[in-house]
A and B are shown apart, each in its own frame.
Chain A
Amino acid sequence: MLKGKTQEPIIESTVLIDVDTQKLKRELSTLLEHNAEEIRSQWIKEMQGQGLLAALSPTEIEEQSKVIYDTCLLCLKTGSYEVAQKYVASMAKKAVLQAMTVDQIIAGLLILRDIYARFIFEWYQKNPTKWRNVNGIYEPVARRILNIATQAFVAERESTIKQLQQQEVAKLSTPIADVWEGVIMMPIVGVLDSARAKQITESLLERISREKTELIAILSIGGIAAIDTQTANYILRTVHAIKLMGSEMIITGIRPDVATTLVTLGIDLSGIVTRSTMREGLEYAFDKLKLKVTKTS
């Protein structure tokens, strides 16, 4: 009974504070909304003064600053940051950003934060208690928005770096060696999954179409540990596609366990030339080209 009584006023007071902050929040957002033009033009002026906007056109500045201003206001009003997150993520990807560096954008947002703070101070300076309360509402929002922006840029940069690295690695993992005129070789070492098989197909076909002459491609898979159905099918398709383009592909160095897997999986290798070693593959290619290697006396 006693507990219930002591709890009641606490609940009431928190509700009361909530209503108060809600009211104050509304007041603040209306205030910032009414003075939007003034604050925004001051913001642009200050950014231009620091040379942050040199790479943007006037229409871009107008559009972007308006969107950023409205987004910040929306976060303050609704307390939901989804819009800001979406906007910043899209901004981090967009080409507009190529014209501005990350530190320029963060500097721009910091300037906006300072202008808001100054504006709030000027408006409420006659009433320090209210000023403090307004700051209590405004500051977390500003912090959160800056946090979101920074995180989005870091995430974007990380994903870009990762993507580039993957592309590089993919390119390195399918090297094409010119062995002889009309003979190319592609040694595959490591794990051969369907993504890598696709890469192999693409680079081989691209090479053959670029060469404009008949080629014999030797795919040496002596260095791979295992193969699955999808990958095997991909390689078979590549062999057929290369045949359609008027060239030929042979496979060398199929290891016993890989051969067993292929047979167990029921993959039909008939019509595909296979040789046990790279050397025999090369001999086959020379044979086809009517070349003969002899010792000089």
Chain B
Amino acid sequence: MEKPSIPILKSGDCLITSPQVALHDKLAVQFKNDILQRIVETKAKGLVLDVSAIDVVDSFLVRQIGEIAAASSIMGGHVVVVGLRPEVAMALVEMGFSLEGVHTAVNLEKGLEVLHKIWRR
């Protein structure tokens, strides 16, 4: 198996990942598979996806993020997307990206808070 090119860190019950390179199609698919694999391996209950370094988002990448959220919620995990840039946020809304299944927060810290809040319920 190929080594994951984007590091996915584990902290407690939570996975944290922050891609710093542009996610082109192939990399995005690999990234999705890596995350799902890691969720299975670590039995993590939550994932914080920090996208503050991503300034271009296409519909394919949006779908991948949606699929990550859907798949991990099936496996009992929650996904929090943090650090969306204003232009990316606007682009997502214009593309009709639904918020279903994905939580959002301003930054990593708040994202973890959101996860803890969900777990407490």
Contacts and interface: CB of A to CB of B under 8 A. Distances in A.
A237 B107 CA distance: 21
A267 B89 CA distance: 21
Contact of B86 (A205, A237, A243): A205
A208 interface: yes
Contacts of A229: none
A55 B85 CA distance: 43
Given A212-B107, A214-B106, A214-B110, A244 B84 contact: yes
A36 to B, nearest CB: 52
A246 interface: yes
Interface string B62-91: 000000000000000000011011110110
Interface in A198-227: 201-202, 205-206, 208-209, 212-214
Interface residues of A, number: 18
A246 B103 CA distance: 8
Given A212-B106, A214-B106, A240-B93, A246 B84 contact: yes
Contacts of B36: none
A246 B90 contact: no
Size range of the chain B interface in the assembly: 10 to 19
Main secondary structure of the interface of A (DSSP, over half): helix
A245 B106 contact: yes
Contacts of A247: 106
Interface in A233-262: 237, 240-247
Given A205-B89, A240-B93, 20 more contacts: A202-B86, A205-B86, A206-B86, A209-B86, A213-B107, A214-B105, A214-B106, A214-B110, A237-B90, A237-B93, A237-B94, A240-B99, A241-B90, A241-B93, A243-B104, A244-B81, A244-B99, A245-B84, A245-B106, A246-B106
Interface of A: 201-202, 205-206, 208-209, 212-214, 237, 240-247
13 contacts: A205-B87, A205-B90, A208-B86, A209-B85, A212-B106, A240-B99, A241-B86, A241-B93, A244-B97, A245-B84, A245-B106, A246-B105, A247-B106
